[in-house]
Structure 1
């Protein structure tokens, strides 16, 4: 496991226990983000980098009892927090690296990824792995409950020119990774980039 992974695990591991308490009002934003995927009953969906699993109940509701929901995260402490919150009832929790997912090619209808892209050590390669596990025509939602400017302000920073989430950077990154960006929203109350897996 490389240093990038160790850093991510240490960062989120130390914050897992009180993560939900720090962001208690994000639930409706997650539900609205999931709704944009227009999932159907019976679909199979992955929450990539699921953290404490805040999207899992909305994903379960969208795919219904016949659907399949997975939540994958690199950090055991985050998965433990998800289980303590009862979110393991909404989906199967996997301790897994999104760079090497334990899934067959084309197994998923969609991937929901909240706050993930900023933590990918090799974004093009990692997004290509997400494309591998999604069927042609399947979807990817890159989500954050607040937009880039609001997030930068929260951390006392300016938006960087090389921010991967900026549309001029994100569109070609997705394209080289097997995705086509179909909608892009970056406002104070939500960041959402929707992409479709190429044929």
Structure 2
């Protein structure tokens, strides 16, 4: 495991047990973001970097009983917290690195990723791996329940021009990784970038 992965695992392992309690009001924001993916009954979707699985319930509601919902995360403690919360009933949990997913090429209709971009060890390569597992025309949602400025303020830091989530940086990053950005919203109450898998 790389140093980057070890650092990410340590960060989230230390916070897993209290993660949901720290952000108890985020549920509606997740549900709204999932709705914007436009999933249909029977489709196959991955929650990449699923953490405690907060998106799994709205994802299951969107694809119905006939759909497939997967949640992949690098940190066992986060997946254990998802199981304790009962979210494994809504999706199959997989211990996996989003940079090397144990999934067939073009096997999914969509990927949902909450708070993932900031933790990617190699963003272009990792987004290319997400593109690999999604069929052409499939969708990607990069989400955070608060916007960049609000998140920076919460963490006591400034937004820098090299922030990957800035539209000017994210659009070409996605384009070089097999995605075409279709919408971008960075508001106090949420961050949501949607993209379509290039043909």
Question: TM over 0.5, yes or no?
Answer: yes
* TM-fit CA distance, 1:190: 0.6
Q: Deviations over 1:13-64 (max 9, x none)?
A: 0100000000000000000010000100000000000000000000000000
Rounded Cα–Cα distance in structure 2 between residues aligned with 1:121 and 1:108: 23
Q: Which residue of 1 aligns with 2:137?
A: 137
- Matching of residue 8 in structure 1 with residue 8 in structure 2: yes
Matches within 5 A, 1:18-167: 18-167=18-167
* TM-fit CA distance, 1:81: 0.1
Q: Which residue of 2 aligns with 1:195?
A: 195
- How many residue pairs are counted as aligned between the two chains? 199
Rounded Cα–Cα distance in structure 2 between residues aligned with 1:5 and 1:62: 31
Rounded Cα–Cα distance in structure 1 between residues aligned with 2:146 and 2:14: 22
* TM-fit CA distance, 1:165: 0.1
Computed over aligned residues only, the root mean square deviation of the Cα atoms, in angstroms, reads: 0.3
Structure 1 alignment gaps of length 5 or more: none
Rounded Cα–Cα distance in structure 2 between residues aligned with 1:117 and 1:110: 16
| 4+ runs deviating over 4 angstroms | none
Structure 2 alignment gaps of length 5 or more: none
Rounded Cα–Cα distance in structure 2 between residues aligned with 1:138 and 1:94: 21
* TM-fit CA distance, 1:116: 0.1
**Structure 1 counterpart SS, 2:17:** coil
* TM-fit CA distance, 1:176: 0.3
Rounded Cα–Cα distance in structure 1 between residues aligned with 2:17 and 2:103: 28
